[in-house]
Amino acid sequence: MASRVDALYIFLLIVTGMMTLLIFICLVYFAARFRSRPGVRAEQIEGSTALEVTWSTIPFLIFMVIFAWGAVVYFKERTPPSDSTEVYVVAKQWMWKLEHAEGQREINELHVPVGRDVRMIMTSQDVIHSFFIPAFRIKQDVLPGRYTVAWFRATKPGTYHLFCAEYCGTQHSGMVGSIVVLEPAQYETWMNGGSTGPLSATGEKIFAELGCSTCHGSDTQGRGPNLHGVFGKPVQLEDGRTVTADENYLRECILDPGTKRVKGFQPIMPTFQGLVSEEQVNALVAYIKSIAAAKGEAVKSVSTAAPPAQTNAQKNRSQVQ
Amino acid sequence: MPNPIPQPTIVQPAERENYLNTKYGVWSWLLTTDHKRIALLYLISITFFFFIGGFFALLIRLELLTPAGDLVQADTYNKLFTMHGMVMVFFFLIPSIPAVLGNFLVPMMVGAKDLAFPRINLLSWYLYIIGGVMMLHCMLTGGVDTGWTFYAPFSTNFTNTKIVEAGLAIFVAGFSSILTGLNFVVTIHRMRAPGMTWSRLPLFIWAHYATSIIQLLGTPVIAVTIVMVAAERALHLGIFDPKLGGDPLLFQHLFWFYSHPAVYIMILPAMGVVTEIIACFSRKRIFGYSFVAFSSIAIAVFGFLVWAHHMFVAGMSVYAALVFSLLSYAVAVPSAIKVFNWTATLYKGSIHYDAPMLYAFGFLGLFTIGGLTGLFLAALGIDVHVTDTYFVVAHFHYIMVGGAVMGYLGGMHFWWPKISGKLYPEGWARLAALIVFIGFNLTFFPQFLLGYMGMPRRYYDYSHMPEFQVLNVLSTAGATVLGVGYLLPMIYFLWSMRYGKPASDNPWNAAGLEWKTASPPPTFNFDEEPVVTWEAYNYEELDSPDKDAPHNEEVPVAR
């Protein structure tokens, strides 16, 4: 990712450098050549439509090239590859809490293997933060009340800065950490220590403890929809819309079940807002995702940012809300 | 030395009745409806706020001299950059050129006795002062620590600083901005002298017309946004905080819907000033008059359609980002048109290097760099990396300080003889222009590099990344140079009011109605209503050796 951004950056440096040079050379040359001399009067020039059209069109065309290139890089940044390692990130004033799908928890530090796609599913407990790794050229605001997603693939082992880039209060500048990129073997060793079991297993436990399984039974369609195989699939809503069951949708259904009710079900589910922590929501989401895969369905990681084409309209609406 | 030729008795300029000596006393100023006196009231007030904001900036730069947070507390630092931004944006930059130079010049340039609503003009100054006093009170009793952007839900439900009070101060000052815009629009439409057609208007007027439209249409949006922030904070109405059922992105949309066009409130008038200066000191008509005029309007219109380019990483849909990126490139075109036309105006001119022209050259250089780095930020893929870093800080300072403040200072020098009736010391002024230019670049250029290296903005302490120190030291050094550059003009302007040589009516031999009346002008600007029969920038006629050339006559003024 860094090299893609840098390539565009260098292209822009060259293009804008040439534009700057052109303007500065004209300025300096005209300023020197046409400095006032006694007896020499300025020559009045009306203007030139041909010139105006030229110096509007050429920059505009150059701008369009930059725009298109920038958009391509951005879409790549915003579209996580489908089989990436997942890390759930909860930001709070003034700390990063990171939890691997495999269950390892970290604070202000994230260990990742070199060469693997890592997808962060992020939310905030309080104000807006921003997850920024300068070395990987990625940044994504982390919002309360919803998930945002970022991804990267580290190509070189080492330790890199992690910054909070959205001002978040007193210790904003203390909300820093590091990304530790390890060789696969080292990473395996690291992974073997200190896990409490996979996040989805934690989620399964919470799922049982909160009594979710009473309605969302595993075999039959009970009072609530069967959640097996739901993740990543389109869902028909009571109000006629169709949404994709991505992380944000699952999260919304747990915290605010009324708004996007599945077609054919009664509005009987209570809200879990305030009853579960952000980490518990993450675990529940991870569990529901895992039971989509368990049934032999391919889990397709659906980005919150770049949805599949057929449900764009619905997706966008769900993001705006 | 004995002089063989007897000198005629010269009428001392001080004896001439003008807007400054027509009445004395505090009330003649505080209750004046003369646009020129109100301009001076604004000049004094915004200079006061400029130095307050500048003082905050200096403390910020001193704190960043070393990586550790050692000069002030973290909370104090956060308040410093917040106050620096709020004071500079709302109490200096937005009123700067329109309320001082615009107030002084718009009626004169169109050939009117005053603005359309002189009392509303005075009211706008009082609103500004009430807002300013509220802001001062807020700062003295604790201040605000959200950044000038007030992002929710931090501002609405988390910080315990004086959000509502600061918001109200800006709310009140906003009305002053709306009223100034209203006055300009009506004046430019209705009060032009006979013969002063739209195509004969100075481009300064076109720029102010475009600015006024933004002030009128944009400012109410920031006002309602402030009301919503206050409502969520005080009454816990769920508007922005998701915990209350709100949407934090809604705040950003509303905030930038005003605050992006607000950048054009700052830069368009500076473009107007620079246009006048370049024409005068090249002794030429402006190349492509109508393109420069309509590009101002285009910037005002397109400026309203690009706000969400501040939000590419905020969690917006990728398709929205695409549209806003595209539109941001569209708004760059009229700015480019202006730069090319100014450059072309120099071609075959007869260029003088007086201080106003030095500032105009400075503006051209810095605005070009500021504008071109905007292309980086509008490119989606690059914005993700550099947004919320020092790259953005450097970029908007190149536009708002390198552009708007250079334009403001250039304009102050250009029209100072008209405003005060005195000449400023040219040598000192050229030196100051040079110091400002060098100091500015030394302060802000390193910040582009810092930003691409990844230093986030609003960081009080960067001890985790000591590699950023060298560039920060350069930046702080530059800021002290810049500070000197800004103090100098204030000193010699004040000095010249007492000791400066009296200025003639038209010391630059410049075009424009304001130069056809006395320096300083009489209260009602012209003795007789001028009738305009010439184009703007008729430098050919002004420089004609034939004294009987048409339109070279003075408009009669009171003596």
Given A177, A192, A207, the domain boundary residue is A192
Looking at the structure, tell me whether residues A109 and A159 fall in a common domain.
yes
**Distance from chain centroid for Cα B89:** 9
Query: Chain B: nearest CA to A73, how far in angstroms?
Result: 5
Looking at the structure, tell me whether residues A278 and A222 fall in a common domain.
yes
Position A47 in a domain = no
Largest CA distance in chain A: 99
The more confident residue out of B118 and A248 is: B118
Position A68 in a domain = yes
Which residues in chain B are contacts of A140 at CB distance < 8 A? 313, 315, 384
| pLDDT band at B2; cut points 50, 70, 90 | very low
Contact B381 A64 (CB under 8 A): no
Please report the pLDDT score of residue A292 as a whole number: 79
Residue A137: closest CA among A73, A181, A183, A196: A73
Please report the pLDDT score of residue A225 as a whole number: 84
Contact A36 B459 (CB under 8 A): no
- Computed over every residue of chain B, the mean pLDDT equals 92
Structure tokens at B380: 């989606």
Residue B546 has pLDDT above 60, yes or no: yes
A233-258: average pLDDT = 87
Looking at the structure, tell me whether residues A276 and A221 fall in a common domain.
yes
B20-48: average pLDDT = 94
Please report the pLDDT score of residue A62 as a whole number: 95
Flag whether residue A48 sits within 8 Å of chain B, measured between CB atoms. yes
Position A52 in a domain = no
Looking at the structure, tell me whether residues A282 and A222 fall in a common domain.
yes
pLDDT by residue (tens digit) across B364-423?
999 999 999 999 999 999 999 999 999 999 999 999 999 999 999 999 999 999 999 999
pLDDT by residue (tens digit) across A70-91?
999 999 888 888 888 999 999 9
pLDDT by residue (tens digit) across A156-205?
999 999 999 999 999 999 999 999 999 999 998 888 876 677 888 888 88
| CB-count exposure of residue B75 (10 Å: 0-12, 13-18, 19+) | middle
Structure tokens at B364: 């051209």
Residue A304 has pLDDT above 60, yes or no: no
Please report the pLDDT score of residue A277 as a whole number: 86
Flag whether residue A51 sits within 8 Å of chain B, measured between CB atoms. yes
Q: Which residues of chain A from 201 to 260 reach within 8 Å of chain B, CB to CB? A: none
Strand partners, B351: A35
User: What CA–CA distances, in Å, run from B280 to A107, B284, B403, B536?
Assistant: 63, 7, 19, 11
Domain extent for A135: 85-192
Looking at the structure, tell me whether residues A187 and A284 fall in a common domain.
no
Given A192, A220, A242, the domain boundary residue is A192
Q: Which of A108, A128, A273, A317 to mutate to test the interface with B (most CBs of B within 10 A)?
A: A128
> Which CATH number is associated with domain B34-542?
1.20.210.10
0.80 surpassed by pTM: yes
Position A46 in a domain = no
Looking at the structure, tell me whether residues A187 and A255 fall in a common domain.
no
Q: Which residues of chain B from 53 to 72 reach within 8 Å of chain A, CB to CB? A: 69
Please report the pLDDT score of residue A270 as a whole number: 83
Looking at the structure, tell me whether residues A203 and A106 fall in a common domain.
no
Position A28 in a domain = no
Looking at the structure, tell me whether residues A120 and A217 fall in a common domain.
no
Position A50 in a domain = no
Flag whether residue A97 sits within 8 Å of chain B, measured between CB atoms. no
Please report the pLDDT score of residue A194 as a whole number: 67
Contact B376 A12 (CB under 8 A): yes
User: Among the listed ranges A46-55, B4-13, B174-183, which one has the minimum average pLDDT value?
Assistant: B4-13
Query: For B456, how many CA atoms within 13 A lie in the half-sphere containing its CB?
Result: 31
- Judged by DSSP in three states, A231 sits in coil
Given A192, A208, A234, the domain boundary residue is A192
Which residues in chain B are contacts of A145 at CB distance < 8 A? 242-243, 248
Flag whether residue A50 sits within 8 Å of chain B, measured between CB atoms. no
Domains in chain A, number: 3
pLDDT by residue (tens digit) across B322-380?
999 999 999 999 999 999 999 999 999 999 999 999 999 999 999 999 999 999 999 99
Residue B8 has pLDDT above 80, yes or no: no
Dihedrals phi, psi of B11, to nearest 5 degrees: -70, 120
Query: Chain A: nearest CA to B235, how far in angstroms?
Result: 19
Dihedral angle computed from the Cα positions of residues B394, B400, B403 and B404, in that order, rounded to the nearest 10 degrees: -160
Q: Which chain B residue has the Cα nearest residue A256? A: B245
Looking at the structure, tell me whether residues A176 and A211 fall in a common domain.
no
Query: Chain B: nearest CA to A217, how far in angstroms?
Result: 30
